[in-house]
Amino acid sequence: MIYKVYDNTDELNREAASHFEEVLTSVESPVLGLATGSTPVGLYKELIKLCKDEKISFKNASSFNLDEYVGLDAAHDQSYAYFMRQNLFDHVDINIENTHVPSGLGDNDKVCADYNAELEKHVVDIQILGIGSNGHIAFNEPGTSFDAVTHVVNLTEQSITDNARFFDSIDDVPKQAITMGLKNIYASKKIILIAMGENKADAVKMLIEDAPNTDAPCSILQNHDNVVVLLDSAAASKLTK
């Protein structure tokens, strides 16, 4: 795992985008692993710019998102399907048919099984990740097995509180989500993890300094041989090494 610390978040996002550019311009049918939340928004803006400037194209790309809330349909403005259209898909030349976000309204067991089957067929070339303040990646909350594949998860109070800022009230935050498991994420050829802000500093310390353990789901990434961690100085502030 390598990590870099930035004073300037524009530079950080350009660095993240350059890894996606490399994949999009060198792989014939690139498979992208995508994320939602505040963290990837700057990266997506960079990718939209690169696409408008015709430096990259998503024409031959497909994508798999990490997660979706249970109970929200794709038209709900806080669903992750909606987020992806707003923040990326509607602004680039990706074929929407080739984008995958698990459905929050289907038969959950079938949605998970189908998603795992698709992920068996398509190896993700590059995955963008944020990190939760509790060390989760996607919605793999503390305690999740490193062998977990796509599953339904009961969100922790911490994750619900962290995400309440997107909803009118904390009671509106869904209590469950469908998430790719740690094993699915680990199968990506390359992983870019971005963390910004002081409230991520404890999680970043777990990510980089804790021995791999399931209380810190992010720590699984230490065993992966192609992970780039991009931090702002606040997120890096608790690192001791």
- Residue closer to ligand PGA by CB (options 131, 148) is 131
CB of 132 to ligand PGA, least distance (A): 4
Print the SS3 string covering 20-82.
HHHHHHHCCCCEEEECCCCCCHHHHHHHHHHHHCCCCCCCCCEEEECEEECCCCCCCCCCHHH
Residue 210 annotated as catalytic: no
Nearer to ligand PGA, 5 or 27 (CB): 5
Applying CB under 6 A, the site for ligand PGA has a residue count of 6
Contact mark string toward ligand PGA, 159..198, x via CB under 6 A: ----------------------------------------
Which of these is catalytic: 68, 125, 141, 162?
141
Q: Using CB under 6 A, which of the segments 32-40, 90-98, 100-108, 169-177 binds ligand PGA?
A: 32-40
Judged by CB under 6 A, the residue of 30, 42, 102, 132 near ligand PGA is: 132
11 is catalytic: no
Contact mark string toward ligand PGA, 91..130, x via CB under 6 A? ---------------------------------------x
Could you give the CA distance from residue 85 to residue 65 in angstroms, rounded to a whole number? Answer: 12
Neighbouring-strand partners of residue 22: none
Q: Is 171 a catalytic residue?
A: no
Q: Judged by CB under 6 A, which stretch of 33-41, 145-153, 183-191, 228-236 contacts ligand PGA?
A: 33-41
Binds ligand PGA by CB under 6 A, chosen from 1, 21, 27, 37: 37
Give residue 37's region: left, alpha or beta (phi > 0; psi -120 to 50): left
φ/ψ of 37, rounded to 5, equals 95, -175
Nearest-CA neighbor of 58 among 88, 84, 36?
88
Between residues 27 and 152, which has the closer beta carbon with respect to ligand PGA? 152
CB closest to ligand PGA, residue no = 37
Enter the tokens of residue 231.
Answer: 């931090």
Query: In what helix (H) or strand (E) does residue 6 lie, and over which residues does it extend?
Result: strand 2-6
Q: Is 131 in the site for ligand PGA (CB under 6 A)?
A: yes
Q: Is 141 a catalytic residue?
A: yes
Distance CA 34, CA 164 (A): 21
HSE-CB at 19 with a 13 A cutoff on CA atoms is 24
Q: Which among 99, 107, 91, 102 is positioned nearest to 45, based on CA atoms?
A: 91
Among 9, 38, 108, 222, binds ligand PGA (CB under 6 A): 38
Instruction: Give me the residues that bind ligand PGA (CB under 6 A), please.
Output: 37-39, 130-132
Residues classed as catalytic: 67, 134, 136, 141
